[in-house]
Structure 1
Amino acid sequence: MVQSTINPAERHERREQMLMLALLAPALLVIVALLVVPLLWLAWQSVRQDGGFTLAHYARFLTDQVYWMTFLQTFRIAGIVTVMTILLGYPVAYVAAGLPQRWSIVVLSMVLLPFWTSVLVRAYAWLILLQRNGIVNSALTGLGLIDEPLRLVNNELGTIIATIHILLPFMVLPLYATMKKIPGELTMAGASLGGSPLHVFLRVFLPLSLPGLVAGTVLVFVLTLGFYITPELLGGGRTYMVSMLVSRNIEVYNEWGAASSISVVLMICVFLVFRLASLLIPFERIMGTR
């Protein structure tokens, strides 16, 4: 009978694995308790009605126009906000990455300044700025650029403006982190080979900055899908998003099953967004691990 022996190196590796598992156990328990269990409860509530199994809550997406129109409006606003944050955030990140360290810190500090106040305070600040007698309309009227105040709040425009301001740092920071890793020698080499600044940017710098661009795009898009306070305050009831639909089903109709089904569908949409992003660029590149 041949007695099996364990290599000391294998024994040491197993001991390290058990130690890592023991260290991760508290974090895993927290994730299960605060994330996995609520999601399972949410999915269970979405298929229950009067104590029995039902798919009626999901059938409303095919029969109730309010449901899919709200989803369409939410995704359209998320797309507009994402595109605008790219147009505004990419130049800011590009300039900050090219500046000396002390000046880039100044630029990033100005970008991060909104994080020092809550979303609720920022939403109310934009409400004061954009209302009919607010600072923006008063300034435009005083300069003679408009004859009567513009409608900048209680509509989709005010919601988009405030959301862009709140989520712009989530676009700038991933872009800046990626751009700082791009060696300056590559752009210098492209220029030395006769490439114009625009050609070097499009063929060298832009492709290398795509991981940060994809990361920022996913962050902004997904966060916009779940926005509640900003459209509630600045939309004035005219801008209806998915989060507000969930809130109305619970607060007004006490329909936990309907609210749960909406949340499950939104969660599936978020997973599809992440999947699409992973097909464009692997998450290893986005996270900077490869």
Structure 2
Amino acid sequence: MGGEVSVTVAAPDRAAGRRSPGQDGPPLSDDPGRRRRGVDGWGLLILPIVAFLLLVLVAPLVLVLARSVTDPQPGLTNYADFFGSPVYLDVLLNTFRISGLVTAVTLLLGFPYAYLMTLASPFWRGVMLVAVLVPFWTSLLVRTFAWVLMLGDAGVVNETLIGLGILDEPISMIRNLTGVVIGMVQIMLPFAVLPLFATMRGIDRRLVQAAEGLGARPIQAFWPIYAPLTLPGVAAAALLVFISSLGFYITPALLGGPQDMMLGELIVEQLSGVLRWGFASTLAVVLLVVTAALLVLVSRIVSLGKLVGDGR
């Protein structure tokens, strides 16, 4: 008939892996081999990264582990010496004690500081953030030497306290636990403030305002409502500070005394002092295993993905 128009719709030729000429988009393909070749091609791109990580991370660890059981003779002699000596075990326990104390003090200082950052105006929040980060960008060795000058018997702190009449004579704040904790806390404070601030910034303050609107005092609204919501940030900060503190060497070496020796100092002493490379490797393996065990223990209690900000 004259009024009719014949329309023909061309279906995609799926068997041949092609689309009809009038259709947009990439050609269809049901070829499993082609998809596998595409995945293999992308997989080849990560091989240099994997090789690099194996070279700079895994290979040194394997060498350290091998040396701990082969130097000076094959066997577990180095491990027997470590676990059989109360002196070395005391150093290990002292490492945990100092790291735990530093973590506690850092959280006590970092929590209110991070909370004030959430309350401050954008300008003052930036000032507070810079105050935390500027020391973080300074050399650790320089900061530790600065504390030696400030905390010494003739240092700025003692001279100021004596000048104000608070002290009659200088007090010892270096070559002891006090100096070690002060130096390590100042270094680790950014590692606590930043996770705490990131967590607190994501908390809806209207929850606290609602509680205050219902008659709760500010302190009553803060602890049962706001504080529990900060626990992921507190856990992340505590884990980061504690694990980082386990491997400290420079700060306790310069600010502490023999009674405050940590495992990192003992490793350096064994390497440079008595040249016991095998025993130093054993100490490094013990520190690594203890840190890994701590991470596994924490992962059983709280999801590590949540600690690093993964919301899944």
Do the two structures share a fold, i.e. TM-score over 0.5? yes
Return the match for 1:64 from 85, 107, 121.
85
Alignment CA distance shift 1:128-1:41 (3 Å): same
Alignment CA distance shift 1:108-1:15 (3 Å): farther
Q: Which has the higher helix share?
A: 1
- 2:57 alignment counterpart: 35
CA distance, structure 1, for counterparts of residue 80 and residue 235 of structure 2: 33
CA distance, structure 1, for counterparts of residue 76 and residue 105 of structure 2: 38
Please give the secondary structure, in 1, of the residue aligned with 2:248. coil
**What is the identity percentage for the equivalent residue pairs of Structure 1 and Structure 2?**
39
Is 1:44 the counterpart of 2:66? The answer is yes
CA distance, structure 1, for counterparts of residue 160 and residue 256 of structure 2: 22
Return the match for 2:171 from 150, 156, 165.
150
Return the match for 2:243 from 215, 222, 236.
222
Alignment of structure 1 residues 259-270 onto 2, 5 Å: 259-270=280-291
Moved more, 250-259 or 195-204: 195-204
Alignment CA distance shift 1:200-1:118 (3 Å): same
Return the match for 1:93 from 111, 114, 127.
114
Alignment of structure 1 residues 1-290 onto 2, 5 Å: 8=30, 17-18=39-40, 20-52=42-74, 54-290=75-311
What's the TM-score, normalizing by structure 2?
Answer: 0.85
Structure whose CA Rg is larger: 2
Moved more, 78-87 or 278-287: 278-287
1:12 deviation in Å? 8.2
What's the TM-score, normalizing by structure 1?
Answer: 0.91
1:9 deviation in Å? 9.6
Alignment CA distance shift 1:50-1:277 (3 Å): closer
Alignment CA distance shift 1:86-1:12 (3 Å): farther
1:7 deviation in Å? 6.6
Higher relative contact order (CA 8 A, sep 6+): 1
User: 2:110·2:193 contact (CA, 8 Å) conserved in 1?
Assistant: yes
User: 1:218·1:273 contact (CA, 8 Å) conserved in 2?
Assistant: no
The aligned length equals 286
1:20 deviation in Å? 4.7
User: 2:71·2:277 contact (CA, 8 Å) conserved in 1?
Assistant: no
Consecutive unaligned residues of structure 2, counting only runs of 5 or more, are 1-16, 18-27
Cα RMSD (Å) of the superposition? 2.3
Alignment CA distance shift 1:143-1:193 (3 Å): same
User: 1:154·1:238 contact (CA, 8 Å) conserved in 2?
Assistant: no
Please give the secondary structure, in 2, of the residue aligned with 1:154. coil
Please give the secondary structure, in 1, of the residue aligned with 2:260. coil
1:207 deviation in Å? 1.9
Moved more, 273-282 or 107-116: 273-282
Alignment CA distance shift 1:117-1:14 (3 Å): same
